A and B are shown apart, each in its own frame.
Chain A
Amino acid sequence: MIEARGLTKVYGDKTAVAGVDFTVQPGRVTGFLGPNGAGKSTTMRMIMGLDRPTSGTVTVDGVPYARHAAPLRDVGALLDAKAVHTSRSAYNHLLAMAATHGIPKQRVLDVIEMTGLGEVARKKVGGFSLGMGQRLGIAAALLGDPRTVILDEPVNGLDPEGVVWVRNLVKYLASEGRTVFLSSHLMSEMAVTADHLIVIGRGRIIADAPIQDIITGKDRGRVRVRTDQAAELTRLLTADGATVDGATVDGQENELLEVTGLEPRRIARTALEHGVMIYELTPLRASLEEAYMELTKDEVEYHSLITTGDTAPAQAGGN
């Protein structure tokens, strides 16, 4: 179990991670989703004791990583594929890592076999493809047979076969009761891999919920309502919203409202009861990708022009 409490990291005048709280439970795959630069890698480096938190704490099984008696046997991490000396062979890299914890040579051979590195294990890591580097990183993470596995963007650079392999591997590790925490910036990858999702944007946790809730947009169902009495309806729905958790009303145009947190039926009834005419009532079922985009739309650090150009008309003129 990984527990972060008020975890903060500030580099100069830039806040990479802004006081996050989260818990990663054992026995399931927890995805750590966020756009590039959101603070995922920084958070993972703090878990592994490589970066010192500016404030707050993070523990693995109740103890900060650096205070574990045999850290590699408790926690295995792939932080990025390049945490290896390029002039050393994969075998010698793993052998040296294993030697720090008295892990037998046989285990080194086992993880090489497991990750499909057999043919290249004696070659210099510098010549490895990105995918091979990822496999070596995963091999290193599994070396100590740890009960907590942390993988930062493990499918980056893997071929489709490798992607499926990582997917099955993490599910298998979680099924053994291990804590599995893996990051990605790809919602689609998380949708098929993770059981639980923690979404981070600009260093803040935006969502922390079971993957199913996030897919169905349980808390985030939006309905587009068009009416001539926007102000009146806004007032009424806001009043209704007091009974529905997290309901908000977003006035976008004068007569176009986006209602969050109320069922269409409820909105129609409210309108009917108060004699407000509505002439569009459209549930906006967000796909996972859209839900992610929506969750992070204010949190993305670098907007691309194409993305903003595409989404703006979709929101404003969806008639």
Chain B
Amino acid sequence: MSSTTIDPTPSRREPGGPAHAAGGSGRPAGLSTGPGPSFPRVLNAEFIKFRSLLSSVILLVATAAVIVGIGALASWGIGQALQSSGADPQRSAALAAQGDIAASAPGAGISFAQLILGSLAVLIISSEFTTGMARSTFTAVPRRIPAFVAKLIVVAVSAFVVTAVSLYISGLVAVPIFEQYGHTLDVSSDHYWRTLLINSAYVAAVAAIGLALGALLRNSAGGIMALVGLFFVLPIALQIIQGDVVKELRKYTPDSTLTPMTASQHFPDTLEAWQAALVLGAWVVIPLVLAGFLLKKRDV
């Protein structure tokens, strides 16, 4: 510890700064002497916090690896299937009935990506409560909601960008794989781009739900379990249970909204694309509003 005595000189303001530092008593009460936590500053701070954690970086890289890796594997598998079915007109027709199956191959890793990025979003806020960082965060931003919204933007935009870029790379990797099997994959069509962007927005929505769960539960394991429950356990449970009501409920789980939004045609027992978008929107907005309300109200 080199600097254990108080050295007033380096601690004082840089030249040109407000000259208040010399005498605290000279400052008028209740008047701040510099900028406060405006939203762009809070957003910048949350971005610094996000990128200065190794775990964020690792999970983003892992997401990209999973999307590209599983996309390549799926392209390879689907390419083989298409090639072998080429000789068989019946199977070929069956495959064609599922829409452009080749175009879906690059996005085969989405369900894993949503889990990783959803967990990352849970951790972004739950770790603040488990480590005590929340006290620092909400001391700097005592209105709290701006910090919460900034976290939402940072995590949702990161999820969207990483997913979109990874899907694009996954598509570029898939093209030569399909070519090997004599199939062309058009990664420049409007439909392909639309699907790519919807997939990315969907993953961003999952991240937003994760953030809300992390803020509500304030516990990393609990938040991730709730997310897994919502996206993996609930759909399986609803598949197992029989009945008309359950069959109807299946359409409204958040994970079942993706297919109707990206499909080139409407499948039976699914929502219309616009309905699915609304349902997913509700899954995002309701937990977020509840989390924001309680974040403002509860003690930190």
Contacts and interface: CB of A to CB of B under 8 A. Distances in A.
B1 A104 contact: no
Contacts of A178: 24-25
B191 interface: no
A97 B136 contact: yes
A73 B38 CA distance: 13
A100 B4 contact: no
Interface residues of B, number: 57
A111 B2 contact: no
A161 B133 contact: no
A110 B10 contact: yes
A113 B3 contact: yes
B237 to A, nearest CB: 35
B143 A66 contact: yes
Interface in A58-98: 61-63, 65-66, 68-74, 77, 79-80, 82-89, 92-93, 95-97
Interface stretch (A114-122, A210-218, A290-298): A114-122
Contacts of A140: 136
Contacts of B32: 68-70, 73-74
Most buried by B among A51, A62, A80, A85: A85
A71 B49 CA distance: 19
A52 B299 contact: yes
A142 interface: yes
A203 interface: no
Contacts of A68: 30, 32, 36, 142
Contact of A49 (B5, B45, B49, B142): B142
B37 A71 contact: yes
Contacts of A145: 11, 13, 20-21
Contacts of A106: 14
A27 interface: yes
Given A26-B24, A92-B48, A96-B52, A114 B142 contact: no
B138 interface: yes
A100 B41 contact: yes
B127 interface: yes
Given A142-B11, A177-B23, A99 B41 contact: yes
Interface in A240-279: none
Contacts of A72: 37, 139-140
Contacts, number: 178
Interface string B4-24: 111110110110000011111
Contacts of B135: 45, 48, 50, 79-80, 83
Contacts of A110: 10-11
A159 B14 CA distance: 31
Contacts of A113: 3, 10
Given A70-B35, A97-B140, A85 B49 contact: yes
Mostly, the B contact residues are loop
Interface string B266-300: 00000000000000000000000000000001011
B200 to A, nearest CB: 27
B30 A172 contact: no
Q: How large is the interface on A (under 10, 10 to 19, 20 to 34, 35 or more residues)?
A: 35 or more
Interface of B: 1-8, 10-11, 13-14, 20-27, 29-30, 32-38, 41-42, 44-46, 48-49, 52-55, 127-128, 131-136, 138-143, 297, 299-300
Given A72-B37, A96-B46, 16 more contacts: A52-B297, A68-B30, A68-B36, A82-B132, A84-B132, A97-B140, A99-B41, A101-B34, A101-B35, A102-B38, A103-B34, A107-B13, A113-B3, A116-B4, A165-B6, A173-B24
21 contacts: A49-B138, A65-B142, A68-B32, A69-B36, A70-B34, A70-B36, A72-B139, A73-B34, A77-B139, A84-B132, A85-B131, A87-B53, A93-B136, A97-B136, A99-B41, A99-B44, A102-B34, A144-B34, A164-B4, A177-B25, A177-B26
Interface of A: 1, 26-27, 45, 48-52, 61-63, 65-66, 68-74, 77, 79-80, 82-89, 92-93, 95-97, 99-104, 106-107, 110-111, 113-116, 118-119, 140, 142, 144-145, 147, 161-162, 164-165, 168-169, 172-173, 176-178
